[in-house]
Every structure is written in C-alpha cells, then in structure tokens.
C-alpha cells in the first residue's frame, strides 16, 4: 500500500517519513515535493514525486504515478497570510478532487486545535480561519473516500529545521535570570511530535472517517520555561512572579514611571497573555495513541537543537 505525503519536507512530514521508513510499516510513503524543494533531509530510500497544490494537473499526475491508496495532507501555509487561502483552502480542495478522481481510499488531514468543533477558533487568526474552511471541504461534502482529521496543540520535538520553537528557547539561553511575566504571561499545551506521528499512523490503520484530538496538559510559563532552563546552556534561573502581582503592582508602577518620563513604555505590555494551544480541562491529555510526556517533548527538542549546533 502506498501513502502520498504532502508537506513531506516540513517538521511533521520529516518525522513521519523517518518513522515509516524505519521499518514496521506496511505502507510505502511517497513524498510529494515541489520542484524547488530540497529533498536532502528525507530518509534514504523514500520515493518522491513532484507536484504543487496550486496545480491540479500535477496533483492528478502524482496520484496516477504513485498509485496511492491513501493521502496524508500535511502541507500548509502557517506564517504567510497571503498564501493561506490559496494553499490551505483552495490547495486542499484541488488535492481532494485529485484524490477522488484517482480512487484514493483515505485522506488523513492535519488540522489545528482551533479548528476542532469543541474548541473555539481564534477569529483573529487567518491561519485558524483557513483551517476551519478546509474542514468544511472535508466534512461537509460527500467524498468517495474516508476522511480523518487530527487536531494537535503545540508540537515540540526533533527535526525542527525551521526553528519554529526556538523563540521559547532563545530568552532562556540568553539570560541568567528570567522573569516570565516581564516578557509575556504565556500558557501552553505541549505535545510530542511522536504523538502526532503515531496518531497519523493510527488513523491510517483505522481507515475510518473520524476526528482525533492530540492534546497534552495545560502548562504555565514557569513549567515550560523552567524545564527549558534546566536543559539549556547558561544556567538561567526562571523566577516565578504570579500574574496578579504583575497586574496589580508591576503595571501601575510602570505606568507611573512612563508618565514621569523614566520608562519609555507604559505598563500595558506587561499584561499581554500568549496562548499556545490550551484547551478546556476535559479535553486535555487526549490522543488515540499512548503519549510521550510534555517534558520529553521539550528536552528532546533541546537535545536536537544542541545536536545541530543551535545551542
């Protein structure tokens, strides 16, 4: 059986292909890549086929050339807002049309936590809006194949070549003392990339139309940055300052200093809150497979950054 994988050179794609190429899988993965993409990081022996989500003919040819039984759709525009509609919505529609024409039996789609029906979407996020629109293409239309969607929270793990999680490591590595609320008060829900890979393989084996949450526990700044600090160079100490102290003491003090000309900025910035995938308590620790710990997700990311020379 053959699985065509879009987004094969990305973070999730590389981890999936390494897992499937490592043995124990009855499916042969084929990496769908654009003509301009580098395949140097793909596992040895993994076949490739050139196609682009913007080109219906290339998608039809890729399906025919590989005789794919299943499609794992990972490709997405995550940061480039101008490309989200064309890639995440129109590109997904072209892929689904090509899969239907080719007689594919199953499509597994990597969504995002905010697109799950039980999780409120962020109306201010163009990325989440595009994923919700893609969900409508998947579940509100009739297809001649089964459709499974996966909804991970905030993913950590190795092979993050684009350094998408390094923003959380940099302030720890660059400081001897870190007081998180003086940056932003962030909350997280962290999952290991292996949980996502395992869930994709589970969905392929299940072969049924379904939705799968992939969530860990909700975590505080102190938990996440403290764990990173214990495994980062520089012996950074993360000092916990309760959000209430920041709100009722630090902010007014900074506002006063700003009014008298001592501080260049007021205190409002100290109340900013970042949310990296948190969910309701009853939706935490969900996955169709046995999960790795959030600590392992963070520490193995750090180990990988160290291996490639980032740390």
Whole-angstrom Cα Rg for the chain: 21
Cβ pair 229, 253 in contact under 8 A: no
CA separation for the pair 125, 128 (Å, rounded): 5
Give the model confidence (pLDDT) of 229-284 as tens digits. Answer: 888 887 777 777 676 766 777 777 777 777 888 767 676 766 667 899 999 999 99
DSSP H helical ranges for 232-284: 243-245, 251-259
Taking only the tens place, the pLDDT of each residue in 104-139 is 999 999 999 999 999 998 888 999 999 999 999 999
The DSSP-derived string for 47-84 is: EEEE--TT-HHHHHHHHHHHT-SEEEE----SS-HHHH
Give the position of tokens 């140097």.
Answer: 40
């Amino acid at each position: 059986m053959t699985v065509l994988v879009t987004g094969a050179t990305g973070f999730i794609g590389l981890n999936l292909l390494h897992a499937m190429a490592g043995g124990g899988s009855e499916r042969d993965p084929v990496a769908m890549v654009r003509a301009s993409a580098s395949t140097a990081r793909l596992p040895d022996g993994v076949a490739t086929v050139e196609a682009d989500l913007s080109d219906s003919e290339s998608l039809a040819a890729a399906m025919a050339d590989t005789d794919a039984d299943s499609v794992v759709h990972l490709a997405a525009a995550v940061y480039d807002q101008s490309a989200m509609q064309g890639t995440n919505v129109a590109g997904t529609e072209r892929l689904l049309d090509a899969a239907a024409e080719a007689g594919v039996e199953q499509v597994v789609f990597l969504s995002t936590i905010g697109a799950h029906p039980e999780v409120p979407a962020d109306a201010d996020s163009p990325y989440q809006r595009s994923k919700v629109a893609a969900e409508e293409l998947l579940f509100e239309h009739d297809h001649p194949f089964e459709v499974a969607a996966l909804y991970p929270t905030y993913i950590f793990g190795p092979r993050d070549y684009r350094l998408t999680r390094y923003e959380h490591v940099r302030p720890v590595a660059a400081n001897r003392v870190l007081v998180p609320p003086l940056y932003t008060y962030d909350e997280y829900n962290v999952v290991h990339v292996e949980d996502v890979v395992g869930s994709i393989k589970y969905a392929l084996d299940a072969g049924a139309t379904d939705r799968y949450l992939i969530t860990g526990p909700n975590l505080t700044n102190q938990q996440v940055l403290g764990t990173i600090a214990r495994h980062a160079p520089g012996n950074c100490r993360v000092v916990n300052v309760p959000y209430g102290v920041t709100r009722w003491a630090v902010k007014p003090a900074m506002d006063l200093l700003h009014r008298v000309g001592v501080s260049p900025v007021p205190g409002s910035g100290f109340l900013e809150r970042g949310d990296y995938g948190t969910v309701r308590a009853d939706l935490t620790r969900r996955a169709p497979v046995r999960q790795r710990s959030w600590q392992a997700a963070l520490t193995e990311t750090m180990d990988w950054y160290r291996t490639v020379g980032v740390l």
